[in-house]
Amino acid sequence: MTTLWFIESTYLKSGDELAAITPLHRAWLDQHYTSGVFITSGRKVDGTGGVLLAQAESEEQLRELFKDDPFVVNGCSEYRYTAFNPVKRGKAIELEGVPLVE
């Protein structure tokens, strides 16, 4: 069964401090998009943090990845991890074993 993770960040810093680390954070994100772990991510509309959708086997695997996130290393963000098993999907996403609704 496929397990996806909804990961929510809460910013602990703002303004120039956050802006200075953002390029490093985005480069870190790119590494995990390339590896296939991250599916999509973005900043919350209210600017208080971000959200990320990932495919991983365990929370421990994610915590291991996130310990190197420049936002974590520099005290800019904390994360909350929520696992779920998708039972349906739209055609915008490919997930092995998850039925497409057309």
CATH label of the domain that carries residue 15: 3.30.70.1060
Q: For 67-90, write each residue's pLDDT tens digit.
A: 999 999 999 999 999 999 999 999
Q: Which domain holds residue 67?
A: 4-84
Domain-located, residue 92: no
Domain-located, residue 97: no
Q: For 18-54, write each residue's pLDDT tens digit.
A: 999 999 999 999 999 999 999 999 999 999 999 999 9
The total domain count for the chain is: 1
Domain-located, residue 51: yes
CA distance 14 to 10: 11
pLDDT beyond 80 at 1: no
pTM for the model: 0.91
Domain-located, residue 37: yes
pLDDT beyond 90 at 60: yes
Domain-located, residue 93: no
